[in-house]
Amino acid sequence: MKKTVFLLLVVLFCFAGLYAMSGKQGAAADAAGKQAKQGEQAKDQAGGERLVRREGEIRVAERRVKKQPEAEKSKRVRGKQSQMSAGMFLSEVEFLDEQGAVKKVFREKHEEFDGGYKTLRMEEFYNSRIIVVSNKTETKNDSQTAYETGWEYKIENDVEIYNEEGKVIGGKKGLDCLVEGVSEDGARFLCFRGNPDSVDDVVRSSEIDLGKMAKILVFTKDGKLLFSKDSPGRGFHLPKLSPNGEWVVARNYDWADEVYVYGLNGEEFVIRSADIDGIFLGNYRGINNKGELEYARMFEEGQGNWVERRFLYSPATKTLTRIIEE
C-alpha cells in the first residue's frame, strides 16, 4: 500500500513539473513573439514607416515625408509637342543661350526611301535637362531573313545625349534598340529592343524563341555595355531606369502579371502582380534609386474631391508603402 502511494506521488510530481515547464515555454514564446513584433514596429518607426497590416506575404505601411518643391523645368531648352496616334511627341527642340536666343535646333523628321525609312526623334528627361536625339534608319529585310529572325526591319540607331546647354555628353552609333531611359547625370542610358515585329501572327522557325528576343541593355555615356538582359518569357514591356542608373524595371509583354527588377550589381527580383488598396503592381510609374517601384493614383476623398496618392513598393522587403507628404 505504501509503495502504491509512493508511486502515485512520483507520477503526480512528474506531471506537475511538465505542466510548469510547458507554461514557462508558452510564456517565453509569447514574450518572444511580442518582442519580435515590437522590434519590427520599432524598426518601422526608426525608418520613418508605420506598419499598417499584412496582405499575405506583403507588408502594407505608411511613411511620412517632408513635402519637396516641384523641380523646375530647364530654362535653356524649349520644346514643341505634337499629336500623333500613339500620343504626344516632341516635334521640335530648341537650345537657348544665356540671353534666351536660339543657338541649336532639332526638328522631327520622317523620310521614306526604297526599302525603308529614316526618322529623327527627340526625347526629354528630367524636366528637359537631358535630351536624347535618335537618328534611326530602318531597312526592310528580305522574306527569308524575316522568317528566320522574326524581324521585318533591320534597325540602325545613332544616338546622341545632350545636356541642357546643348552639349553632347554621350551616345552610341549603330544600335539595334531604342533609348527608353537615361540617368539623371546623363552618364548611363537604357536601350530597349522589343519583341520582333511579327511575334503575334507569323509562324517562325524552330531555331528561335520569339518570347525571349526582347532585350534590355544599359550603356555608359561612352557606349560601354554595363548590363544586358534577355526576356525570361513572353517579352519585356515598359522598361524604366532609375535616376542613378543602378536599377531597371520592366514587366512582361502581354498580361502585366509579372514585374522584373534588376540591380546592376546583380540583384534580381520577380514580382507577381497584385491589386492592393487600388494599386496594381504591374502599373508602375518608375523606379527610384533604392530599387523601389513608384506608383501614383487618383483617389476620391469626399464628394468630387480627387487627390493623387503616391506609393512605393520594395521588392526586397515586399512592402507597399503609402507616402504621406507633410
Q: Is the model's pLDDT at 223 over the cut of 70? A: yes
CA distance 18 to 301: 57
Lowest mean pLDDT among 84-98, 161-175, 192-206, 214-228: 192-206
CA distance 289 to 248: 10
Provide the pLDDT confidence category of residue 212 given band limits of 50, 70 and 90.
Answer: low
Contacts of 231 (CB under 8 A, 6+ apart): 195, 211, 212, 213, 214, 215, 252, 253
Model-level pTM? 0.81
**What per-residue confidence (pLDDT) applies to 145?**
81
Give the end-to-end CA distance of the chain in Å, rounded to a whole number: 81
The pLDDT of 145-164, averaged and rounded, is 89
Provide the pLDDT confidence category of residue 68 given band limits of 50, 70 and 90.
Answer: confident
Strands, DSSP E only, in 221-281?
A: 225-230, 236-241, 247-252, 258-263, 268-272, 275-276, 279-280
**What per-residue confidence (pLDDT) applies to 35?**
46
Name the residue with cell 554595363: 226
Domain boundaries, the chain: 77-125+127-242
C-alpha cell at 272: 507577381
**What per-residue confidence (pLDDT) applies to 17?**
52
Strand pairing report for 58-65 and 319-325: parallel
Q: Cβ distance 233 to 211 under 8 Å?
A: yes
The neighbour count for residue 216, using CB atoms within 10 Å, is 24
**What per-residue confidence (pLDDT) applies to 42?**
42
What DSSP element (H or E) covers 149? helix 143-149
Contacts of 13 (CB under 8 A, 6+ apart): none
> Distances in Å between the alpha carbon of 326 and those of 136, 230, 249, 251?
46, 42, 29, 32
Provide the pLDDT confidence category of residue 271 given band limits of 50, 70 and 90.
Answer: very high
Name the residue with cell 502581354: 254
Q: What 8-state DSSP symbol labels residue 12?
A: H
CA distance 208 to 214: 12
**What per-residue confidence (pLDDT) applies to 273?**
87
Phi, psi of 325 (to 5 degrees): -90, 135
The pLDDT of 57-70, averaged and rounded, is 92
Q: Which amino acid is at 144?
A: Q
C-alpha cell at 182: 537615361
Name the residue with cell 512605393: 312
Q: Of the segments 5-9, 25-29, 231-235, which one has the largest average pLDDT value? A: 231-235
What would you report as the CA-atom Rg of the chain, rounded to the nearest whole angstrom?
29
